[in-house]
Copies of this chain bind each other. A is one copy, B any other.
Amino acid sequence: MTSSRSADPGPAADLAPPRRRDARATRRRILEAAQHAFSETGYSHAGLRDIAARAGTSSTLVLRYFGSKVALFEAALTAAMPVQDTLRWSRDEYPERLAEALLDTANPVRPPLMIALASGDPEAAAAAARVTEARIIGPVAAWLGGADARSRALGIAALATGFATFMRQLPLTPLPPAEQAHQTAWFIGAVRALVEGDGGPPGDAPAG
């Protein structure tokens, strides 16, 4: 990317000079704050003022950078989609890795919840559908292969959404550890069945 700045700031751009006005950094902070807010409380309940406060700015600047709330949501959901990472996993490790990612309490960004909690607002639901198709259904279906690839990719997404909703969003009385392990094992098995295909694609078995 060609920087319009003056001289090349050097390879160690991490130690950026203490710019008090940095549009790119501000925009990135807003995007991260939006991912967190939309993941925790959903589209409707996350206000622009909350997001701006998390990012250390004002709601006006948020709108200047992203145009509207629903556009910010679409940008945040797109940025939160970890498809490029998940597609590097092998078919064999995919189910377990997906479960780990969904249950990782250290990461507050949860795309399945962003999708599920957005589907109440029509505009946000349309944005979520666009991003889901472009960044999940399409790539995952291509990665899966086979005739029912789209249906299986959609099943994985639906499974992850329901799993995340019940495991991380609803304040249910927590399961005892044994049942929790059973729950995770069931989820992994269901995803594995979808990854490997229903009847099993002929001659396509990934030699483990």
Contacts and interface: CB of A to CB of B under 8 A. Distances in A.
Interface of A: 41-45, 115-117, 119-121, 125-126, 128-129, 132-133, 137, 148, 150-152, 154-155, 157-163, 165-167, 169-173, 175, 179-180, 182-183, 185-187, 189-190, 193-194, 198
B172 A166 contact: no
Quickly give the copy total for this chain: 2
A157 B166 CA distance: 8
A120 B117 contact: yes
A33 to B, nearest CB: 17
Contact of A151 (B115, B120, B180, B194): B180
Residue of A41, A42, A157, A194 ringed by the most chain B CB atoms within 10 A? A42
A183 B141 CA distance: 14
Contacts of A119: 42, 116-117, 165, 169-170
Nearest to A198: B186
B44 A45 contact: yes
A137 B132 CA distance: 30
